[in-house]
Structure 1
Amino acid sequence: MEAEQQEAASVPEGGGDREFTVDELAARAGITVRNVRAYAARGLLPPPRLVGRTGYYGAEHVARLLLVREMLAEGYSLAVIERTLATAPSVGGSAALALHRALLAPWLPPEPEDTTADELTARAGVPVEPATLEEMVELGLLERLDDGRLRVTDPSLLTAGLQVVRLGVPPSALVAAQARVIELVREIAATYVGMFVETGWQAFVEAGAPPEQLDEVRAMVERLQPAAAQALLASFRTEMAAAVGAAVTAGLAAPADE
């Protein structure tokens, strides 16, 4: 790991002038050319600068490959790495990538899984209509693959949903409810992130993102996730109890009013 950090430190920041061919890039990152091409095919690397049919790569490409290599060594899959880098900054060098990874990693969903419409129907125990599947794709719960299969972006969410379906709730009704839940959760996430930005992140950025404070910021992000989840669950339980109580009271009172 120390050797990797020294290597990363030697990479010029901010897209330095030096460029590399694919062979030089692979040697610089300590991986094979075949892997470089495979990572590029997955979108883990931005396109090179082309001169004729020759591609030239810069410091940003080296930084990304070093980050990919590090995350693979820590046990992350390429699918998780792909999602991490999907929102990574296109400029800023290895330091910016490392910071991006450190802040995002605690929030990544579980490893996605691939399935088919028939398999989903079998697991649900009831037919899942094509229109319902399309709604799930639009919500980002599913992704369509080139071979016709479906990718479940968050298997834990699917498992919870299937449990509700087995209680007798139609899949279409559950998906409609989930669409509303996503809207509300997005607002909750924005609220917590806004709090984090105002109380910790902004000061870090205004100080020039000093490396010596990175561990402190990373620790704050890691502690924020379970704390926010616990607070959200506690509030949900309280409000759920109130809503169920109101619904039961209204249901019991209805016959007496007739």
Structure 2
Amino acid sequence: MSAPEMDPPGATADRQLTVDELAARVGVTVRNVRAYSARGLLPPPRMVGRTGYYGRQHVARLLLVREMLAEGYSLAMIERTLASAPPTASSATLALHRALLAPWLPPEPEITTGAELAARAGVPEQPEVVDQLVELGLVERLDDGRLRVIDPALLMAGLQVVGLGVPPAALITAQAEVNEHVRAIARTYVQMFVDTGWRDFVEAGAPRERLDEILATVTRLQPVAAQAMLAAFRTEMAGEVEAAVETALSQLEEE
């Protein structure tokens, strides 16, 4: 990722822009500005009569939207990236927010139907199973009756498990428990980063020259944490399988 694009000194700090001026400042069309606003990518302008005025926070967001679109991100992914960003954030803050969050976002959501999900799993359609998926936050219902799968990679893994003969309801129950454990693991790793590198960065006044170092750490944290968790999982899984096999063999001998 490139270094955050800073607002030119005085360019928009003390000046409010009309929608035409905003579009010209960032290099997008007025139509796109309105479309981004409708999606919630921009906070509402300050209204004076029937005229909306935009400030530097709108410029910052539009610059980030333009950059992410140029890199191939969809508007849906950009929307998810900006959802938790402060509405008055500067360009540098938004760039840091994007860099910290983007590596951890799941793939692009997938649109499907309950019937299609059942067909892919090779089981009869079961509305109650979809209800459970919605309750877990893995699936969202759209107004037209279709379903939005939040994490297609997780769905694919689930379908493979169902293909092994595990009933969907049993898998969903197990996944809910797994999610709780994974959430605790994620919290542990993130807190470790916050208590070390991030705290030092903030206490130093968030110096711009250390920004690349922080971004590199965040980018590397995901694969390193995933490798460590997978290694630990393999060890624990081997122990659990061994214990289960021993129990099963003991029962066979008794019979």
Q: Same fold (TM over 0.5)?
A: yes
Look up the match of 2:47.
50
Distance 2:14 2:110 in 1: 41
Alpha-carbon offset, residue 35 of structure 1: 0.7
Residue 216 in structure 1 maps to residue 213 in structure 2? yes
Distance 2:124 2:26 in 1: 49
**Deviations 1:84-115, CA, capped at 9 Å, x for gaps:** 11111223311110110111121121111111
- Higher mean alpha-carbon deviation, 242-251 vs 212-221, is at 242-251
Residue 24 in structure 1 maps to residue 21 in structure 2? yes
Residue 81 in structure 1 maps to residue 78 in structure 2? yes
Residue 162 in structure 1 maps to residue 168 in structure 2? no
User: Does the CA-based 8 Å contact 1:143-1:151 persist in structure 2?
Assistant: yes
Identity of aligned residues (%): 70
User: Does the CA-based 8 Å contact 2:60-2:89 persist in structure 1?
Assistant: no
Cα–Cα, structure 1 residues 233 and 217, in superposed 2: closer, same or farther, change >3 Å?
Answer: same
Look up the match of 2:8.
10
Match runs of 1:1-258 below 5 Å: 5=5, 8-10=6-8, 16-257=13-254
Alpha-carbon offset, residue 50 of structure 1: 2.1
Alignment TM-score, normalising by the size of structure 1 = 0.92
Equivalent position amino acid for 1:23 in 2: D
| 3-state SS in 2 of match to 1:18 | coil
State the aligned residue count: 254
User: Does the CA-based 8 Å contact 1:11-1:62 persist in structure 2?
Assistant: no
Distance 1:161 1:201 in 2: 35
Distance 2:55 2:245 in 1: 64
Alpha-carbon offset, residue 27 of structure 1: 1.2
Distance 1:11 1:41 in 2: 29
Cα–Cα, structure 1 residues 11 and 22, in superposed 2: closer, same or farther, change >3 Å?
Answer: farther
Distance 1:44 1:12 in 2: 24
Distance 2:9 2:142 in 1: 36
| 3-state SS in 1 of match to 2:59 | helix
Distance 1:133 1:74 in 2: 34
Cα–Cα, structure 1 residues 84 and 199, in superposed 2: closer, same or farther, change >3 Å?
Answer: same
| 3-state SS in 2 of match to 1:10 | coil
Alignment TM-score, normalising by the size of structure 2 = 0.93
| 3-state SS in 2 of match to 1:237 | helix
| 3-state SS in 2 of match to 1:9 | coil
Equivalent position amino acid for 1:73 in 2: A
| 3-state SS in 1 of match to 2:85 | coil
Alpha-carbon offset, residue 11 of structure 1: 6.6
Distance 1:83 1:92 in 2: 16
Alpha-carbon offset, residue 48 of structure 1: 1.5
Alpha-carbon offset, residue 129 of structure 1: 1.8
- Higher mean alpha-carbon deviation, 247-256 vs 164-173, is at 247-256
Alpha-carbon offset, residue 12 of structure 1: 5.7
Equivalent position amino acid for 1:249 in 2: E
Equivalent position amino acid for 1:40 in 2: S
Q: Structure 1 stretches (4+) deviating beyond 6 angstroms?
A: none
Distance 2:47 2:248 in 1: 69
